[in-house]
Chain A
Amino acid sequence: MDKLREDFLEMISFENVQWDRVWEETVATLYMTGYATLFTFILGLIVGIILFLSGRSDGRFIRVIYLVTAFLVNLFRAVPFIILIILLIPFTSEIMGTIMGVKGALPALILSSAPFYARLVEIALKEIDKGVIEAAQSMGANIWHIIFKVLIPESLPALISGITVTAIMLVGATAIAGVIGAGGLGTLAYMVGHTRGQPDVTLVATIAILIIVFIIQIVGDLTSKAVDKR
């Protein structure tokens, strides 16, 4: 009982915490999450639009495109993140030049979350009233008009709330990646907090992560609401 009490007191004493180090790792987490979210958004949006458009058509060739895309999406979603990191090591070291640090973590982060976001995009696009797409076609819109003037603006609230969920998921993923050396708050909590037996550091890292998550959620909700004119 006394041991537990001691641990707890140490945890809230913050005596081991190096605040400049905490700030450094927070920035690293933000950096990883930010870049991963940006690329996930772009890649997921493209793949989601391909899924949506090819899923609507009944031409044979387009059907094949749909099936291949859907297969890849399901595949990358099925592989657990931690295993994906390991599988991607050769690829990562080839294109990023390293498998460590923030740069080394990005490919796995993006490739694990983009398929998830692509599905969210597909669902969002399916919610668009078919009549509106047809109206655009009846005015002579081509495929690019439809993508940029109808599909994206008309599903924007759902695209934003989707990327919010994905970004929060990515914060969690960066923490996992941190355990195997990606840097950021995950590394801080594990390498310093856990292995050196400094629970106060772990607590501070956790609080920093929670603050990041809440801020993402609030900004996402407000933006989604602001663009929704329905």
Chain B
Amino acid sequence: MIEIKDVSKLFKTKSGDVQAVDNVSIQVDKGEIFGVIGYSGAGKSTLIRLLNGLETVSSGDIRIGDDYINALSGRALRQKRQKVSMIFQHFNLLWSRTVEQNISFPLEIAGVNRRERKKRVKELIDLVGLTGREKAYPSQLSGGQKQRVGIARALSNEPEVLLCDEATSALDPETTDEVLDLLLDIREKLGLTIVLITHEMYVIRKICDRAAVMENGRVVEIGEIKQLFRNPQSSVTKRFVKDDIDDEETNVSFEALREQFPNAELVKLSFVGSKSKTPIVSKIIKKYDVDMNIIAGSIKHTNKESFGHLHVTIDTSPSVLEAITKDLAAENVKLEVETHG
């Protein structure tokens, strides 16, 4: 759907040249949610702005659908932009327009007639869950609601691609989740392709299928989310993953536990890309009729899998423990015995 090939962007400024994007190649499939993560100044915004021609490439090619963005200009580019829409960190709504007028704005630009606009706006308001707020002005909305308007507005001309520039960075964690769920929902319903950029690993693992990690204008790593979490290659990726999972060994006082559970095994379960939808632990407890006691742990979920670890005690015989270990391994959970009872 999207093909970015050997793209570079050089800004010439008075204080010198800035290589904001450096020889980047990325392919995004239709219907995919693709993330780009990097620290501030990595060149993410510049890259995403190249995709709708808000910036022009210094070299390389960008193809979206059948069109090369870098070859379009004037009317053709403006027409293409109706199918490659964008949402923003600071929402960028027109304060002078109500919710419904804001959503109607791209339709006016596209020359859609009034009746059709009205119908479409109503559908979109329902889709993003803003029914009842049609006549409100942006200044009367919360951040999450403003971003919903931004999303509805971006969807009004039925785009093929949605570009999100730090779309949740101005929102609190709860609202972030709501907006991300909405994005998943519209991908499901409308089948559009989403490219989102962020500096939060949380956003990547929550909704992205694949992601690229950027540093100094270059893509240093690219792949499926589970691959980035299981086996991060570059130091930037490792830092993002570590910050996210908070990989510090949980400090468990073994001595105290020993006294509390004199006969139990203390084990560590490591989740490395396990199916998050299956209740693995409770299945084991039922199947082997064992007591399991959770001591500590930290688990993070992507939209498909879980990562992290749990410290538990299991009161059982060595042979059963072995069977459990095998079962867990089949679910991508590694069991390690920390101390023997």
What are the 6 A-B residue pairs with the smallest beta carbon separation, nearest first?
Answer: A135-B92, A140-B81, A140-B78, A131-B92, A139-B106, A153-B96
Say yes or no: is A132 at the interface (Cβ < 8 Å to chain B). yes
Contact residues in B for A149 (Cβ distance below 8 Å): 105, 108-109
Give the interface size class of chain A.
20 to 34
Q: Is the CB of A139 within 8 A of B81?
A: yes
Instruction: Give the Cβ gap from B288 to chain A, nearest Cβ, in Å.
Output: 57
The CA-CA distance from A190 to B106 in the complex, in Å, is: 57
Contact residues in A for B137 (Cβ distance below 8 Å): 229
Q: Is the CB of A139 within 8 A of B92?
A: no
Q: Is the CB of A156 within 8 A of B96?
A: yes
Within 8 A of A (CB), among B65-114: 75, 77-82, 85-86, 88, 90, 92-97, 105-106, 108-110
Q: How many A-B residue pairs have CB under 8 A?
A: 65
Q: Is the CB of A138 within 8 A of B54?
A: yes
Contact residues in A for B153 (Cβ distance below 8 Å): 139
Within 8 A of B (CB), among A125-142: 129, 131-132, 134-142
Number of chain B residues close to chain A: CB under 8 A: 28
Among B85, B88, B95, B97, the one with the most A-chain Cβ atoms within 10 Å of its Cβ is B95
- Can you spell out 27 A-B residue pairs with CB atoms less than 8 angstroms apart? A129-B90, A131-B88, A131-B90, A132-B92, A134-B54, A135-B92, A136-B105, A136-B109, A137-B54, A138-B52, A138-B81, A138-B85, A139-B85, A139-B153, A140-B78, A140-B79, A140-B80, A141-B109, A142-B75, A149-B108, A149-B109, A154-B95, A229-B96, A229-B137, A229-B139, A230-B95, A230-B139
The CA-CA distance from A119 to B88 in the complex, in Å, is: 31
Within 8 A of A (CB), among B16-57: 52, 54
Among A135, A153, A156, A229, the one with the most B-chain Cβ atoms within 10 Å of its Cβ is A135
Q: Is the CB of B54 within 8 A of A145?
A: no
The CA-CA distance from A135 to B92 in the complex, in Å, is: 6
**Considering only CB atoms, which chain B residue lies closest to A155 in the complex?**
B96
Q: Is the CB of B94 within 8 A of A150?
A: yes
Contact residues in B for A156 (Cβ distance below 8 Å): 96
Contacts known (A134-B54, A229-B137, A229-B139); A139 close to B96, Cβ less than 8 A: no
Contacts known (A139-B106, A141-B78, A145-B109); A132 close to B94, Cβ less than 8 A: yes
Contact residues in A for B79 (Cβ distance below 8 Å): 140
Instruction: Give the Cβ gap from A189 to chain B, nearest Cβ, in Å.
Output: 42
Q: Is the CB of B82 within 8 A of A139?
A: yes
Q: Is the CB of B109 within 8 A of A129?
A: no
Instruction: Given contacts A137-B54, A141-B109, A142-B109, list 13 more A-B pairs with CB under 8 A.
Output: A135-B86, A136-B109, A138-B52, A138-B81, A138-B85, A139-B109, A140-B81, A140-B82, A145-B109, A154-B94, A156-B96, A229-B95, A229-B139
The CA-CA distance from A135 to B96 in the complex, in Å, is: 15
Q: Is the CB of A135 within 8 A of B82?
A: no
Contact of A135 among B77, B88, B108 (CB under 8 A): B88
Contacts known (A131-B92, A132-B92, A229-B139); A153 close to B97, Cβ less than 8 A: yes
Contact residues in A for B92 (Cβ distance below 8 Å): 129, 131-132, 134-135
Contact residues in B for A138 (Cβ distance below 8 Å): 52, 54, 81, 85-86
**Considering only CB atoms, which chain A residue lies closest to B110 in the complex?**
A140
**Considering only CB atoms, which chain A residue lies closest to B74 in the complex?**
A142
Q: Is the CB of B94 within 8 A of A153?
A: yes
Instruction: Give the Cβ gap from B133 to chain A, nearest Cβ, in Å.
Output: 14
The CA-CA distance from A142 to B109 in the complex, in Å, is: 8
Instruction: Give the Cβ gap from B289 to chain A, nearest Cβ, in Å.
Output: 60
Contact residues in A for B157 (Cβ distance below 8 Å): 139
Q: Is the CB of B105 within 8 A of A139?
A: yes
Instruction: Give the Cβ gap from B144 to chain A, nearest Cβ, in Å.
Output: 18
Contact residues in A for B88 (Cβ distance below 8 Å): 131, 135
Instruction: Give the Cβ gap from A71 to chain B, nearest Cβ, in Å.
Output: 24
